[in-house]
């Protein structure tokens, strides 16, 4: 994903090329870490709401909140796999 984003950025030549690439990779990783943290926060909220529905014995709400929780977890899994296996990150 980093390389896809890098295609729209201006290029730097010379002695600062490696530093520029490292800075962009660092920024991309920070952005991804923030998105991951937000995803985990939302998963925690969905889990709490599901547990509250279970405690209240509200079957209809349990079904809805369980579906929301499952959806969040599947999205997290898919994004993690996508980042880990991004073909654009493989050396040429």
Instruction: With respect to residue 52, please indicate whether it lies within any of the assigned structural domains.
Output: yes
CA distances from 89 to 2, 22, 55 (A): 7, 14, 46
The 10s digit of each residue's pLDDT in 42-69 is 999 999 999 999 999 999 999 999 999 9
Instruction: With respect to residue 72, please indicate whether it lies within any of the assigned structural domains.
Output: yes
Asked if residues 68 and 46 have their Cβ atoms less than 8 Å apart, the reply is yes
Q: Report pTM.
A: 0.63
Instruction: With respect to residue 76, please indicate whether it lies within any of the assigned structural domains.
Output: yes
- Number of separate domains in the chain: 1
The number of beta carbons lying within 10 Å of the beta carbon of residue 46 is 19
* Cβ within 8 Å of residue 50, ≥6 positions away: 62, 65, 66, 68, 69
Range of the domain at 77: 40-85
């Amino acid at each position: 994903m980093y390389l896809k984003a890098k295609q729209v950025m201006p290029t730097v030549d010379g002695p600062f090329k490696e530093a520029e690439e490292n800075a962009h990779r660092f920024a991309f990783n920070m952005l991804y870490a923030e998105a991951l943290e937000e995803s985990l926060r939302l998963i925690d909220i969905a889990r709490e709401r599901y547990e509250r529905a279970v405690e209240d014995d509200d079957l209809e709400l349990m079904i809805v909140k369980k579906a929301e929780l499952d959806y969040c977890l599947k999205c997290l899994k898919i994004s993690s796999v996508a980042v880990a296996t991004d073909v654009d990150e493989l050396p040429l």
